[in-house]
Amino acid sequence: MADDHGKEQAGAAPHGAGAGLLSSLRGRLLLLTIAFVLGAQILIYFPSAANFRNTWLMDRANAAHLAAIAAELAEENLSEDAVRELLDGADAIGVARVFGGTTELVLGGDTGGAPLYNEDRTRPAPLRDMLAVPWTFAGPADRLIVLTAIPETRPDERILVILPEAPLRVALGEFTARLIWIFLFIALLTGALLYMVLLFLFVRPMRRLSLAMTAFQEDPSDATRILAASARRDEIGEAERALSAMQADVLAAMRQRERLASLGLAVAKINHDLRNVLASAQLVSDRLATSEDARTAAMGQRLVRAVDRGIRLCSEVLEYGRTRESAPKLEPVVLASLLDEVAQEALADLPGAQWVNQTAKALAVRGERDVLHRLFGNLFRNAAQAMTPQGGTLRVEAKTTGDRILVEVSDTGAGIPAAVLETLFTPFSGSGAKGGTGLGLSIARELTELMGGTLTLGHTGPDGTVFIVELKSAAGAAS
């Protein structure tokens, strides 16, 4: 049983190797090269075979013409044996000369009722000559050719020769066999040479790229698996350099992600402890704020606001550090009442601010109420910070455009500094307020996109800032 199993494996190995070669790029390349060369040689065969056939016929025509001249020059009538000898020398059955408009039979033989085939060599016809090659092999074995030709020594004459086609068929078959061997040799040699050239120029470099990608995919964190690009200046060299640069970027991104993950864990731990510290400080500040001493109470109130900002900062950082926001449950939400509620909370610490809600009472959007509350809460708090401490006007106006609702949130603050406009929605880098994290606008945009909307900056300047929130209309969705 073991021996039989070993024989099966030994017998299967060559088949597997052959299948592997055919499925590989280099194996297909070799087969395609040989096939293309053979295809080109097949196209060459028919003109070559037609030329061989024409030469063979003209040789017989010239030999028959010489035999006819020899018969005419004989001083006495030729015997039957002499006629046969002359005809055999020309491989002919009968010879006739055509000159002066008359046809004269010079040497004649018995055709035996065999089928005849007319071959006119007095006018060139390349396509007819090529089509005659397969016709030669397809004819009956006893067919005769009635050849009309112009002798080389007598261009003003015509000669008619009756020839058996069998010798031509044999000669053409031998010529075809020799040509096939030559073609196969040329195809194999050309295929091997092209295969070696293409293998070293293209296949091996492409295989090197493939192996480099596979190795890097197995362990992208291993810097030794980054492809060392060659100095080639062609497209493969460009591909190598692009792959090497991409692998380096991926490795750098992975290391950066690992560092950020470690940093995020550390920040989460610090935030946890810091919130506990701030909670204790909040208790003390609340007592100070309720002190009977006016100066102490004022200091306590300022301390309360500072502690509240610290707690809110810790909450925002932890909130943003979550892996991703859950998908909101979209349902109709009346916008005006929601905006009033959010504004009351956001402007509570800014008594000098005025709230103007120009949203229609019945206007509803498709969203999740809590998500919308967080979205506009971030925008309103940013506006309140921009108008601190002098106060100002926070205005909201909603417009319906098709199945979308555009909500414009404008304030009368000092505007956003030009230095942060390019990174306005980038976490930790887009805040223009002192002590801000830059997370508010980033979180607001993320929440808007989760509900299928957009958040963009309308304009900003010394007279204030406008943000535009585009959301789905509940009326448009219902229709």
- What was the pLDDT predicted at 314? 67
Q: Give percent of the chain with pLDDT exceeding 70.
A: 78
Mean pLDDT for all residues in the chain: 79
Domain assignment present for 212: no
- Which of 24-33, 152-161, 390-399, 408-417 is predicted with the least confidence, judged by mean pLDDT? 24-33
Domain assignment present for 119: yes
Q: Is the dihedral angle over the CA atoms 49, 53, 58, 59 positive or is it negative?
A: positive
- In this structure, are 31 and 175 located in the same domain? yes
Domain assignment present for 213: no
Domain extent at residue 295: 235-318
- In this structure, are 265 and 128 located in the same domain? no
- In this structure, are 343 and 283 located in the same domain? no
- What was the pLDDT predicted at 400? 93
Domain assignment present for 413: yes
Pick the last residue of a domain from 132, 163, 188: 188
Q: Give percent of the chain with pLDDT exceeding 90.
A: 19
User: What confidence tens digit (pLDDT) does each residue in 259-302 have?
Assistant: 777 777 677 667 666 766 777 677 777 777 777 777 777 777 76
As a residue count, the chain comes to: 479
Joined together, the tokens standing for residue 36 give: 């293309």
Domain assignment present for 450: yes
- What was the pLDDT predicted at 355? 94
For 248, other C-beta atoms within 10 Å of its C-beta total 13
- What was the pLDDT predicted at 316? 62
- What was the pLDDT predicted at 295? 76
- What was the pLDDT predicted at 331? 94
Domain assignment present for 5: no
- In this structure, are 299 and 334 located in the same domain? no
- Number of structural domains (the chain) is 3
- Give the phi and the psi of residue 81 in degrees, each rounded to 5: -65, -40
Pick the last residue of a domain from 154, 188, 222: 188
Residue 243 has pLDDT above 50, yes or no: yes
> What stretches of 114-159 show up as alpha helix (H) in DSSP?
126-138
DSSP per residue, 401-452 = ETTEEEEEEEE-SS---GGGSTTTTSTTT---STT--S-HHHHHHHHHHHTT
User: What confidence tens digit (pLDDT) does each residue in 316-361 have?
Assistant: 666 655 545 567 889 999 999 999 999 988 888 787 889 999 999 9
- What was the pLDDT predicted at 404? 94
User: What confidence tens digit (pLDDT) does each residue in 73-86 have?
Assistant: 665 565 556 667 77
Pick the last residue of a domain from 188, 205, 221: 188
For 103, other C-beta atoms within 10 Å of its C-beta total 11
CA of residue 324 relative to chain centroid, distance: 31
- Give the phi and the psi of residue 475 in degrees, each rounded to 5: -65, -40
- In this structure, are 146 and 294 located in the same domain? no
Contact in structure between 417 and 293 (CB atoms under 8 Å): no
Name the most confidently modeled range: 33-37, 120-124, 143-147, 362-366: 362-366
- In this structure, are 408 and 453 located in the same domain? yes
- In this structure, are 331 and 281 located in the same domain? no
**Rounded Cα distance, 323 and 416, in Å:** 29
Domain assignment present for 164: yes
- In this structure, are 49 and 118 located in the same domain? yes
Q: Which residue has the tokens 């019945």?
A: 362
Name the most confidently modeled range: 135-144, 152-161, 280-289, 450-459: 450-459
**Rounded Cα distance, 175 and 360, in Å:** 97
Name the most confidently modeled range: 74-88, 99-113, 183-197, 357-371: 357-371
Q: Which residue has the higher pLDDT, 70 or 424?
A: 424
- In this structure, are 331 and 304 located in the same domain? no
- Give the phi and the psi of residue 473 in degrees, each rounded to 5: -80, 135
Domain assignment present for 360: yes
Closest by Cα among 42, 57, 50 to 182: 42
- What was the pLDDT predicted at 459? 92
- In this structure, are 266 and 338 located in the same domain? no
Give SS3 for 251.
helix
- In this structure, are 430 and 292 located in the same domain? no
Contact in structure between 464 and 411 (CB atoms under 8 Å): yes
Contact in structure between 40 and 186 (CB atoms under 8 Å): no
- In this structure, are 33 and 70 located in the same domain? yes
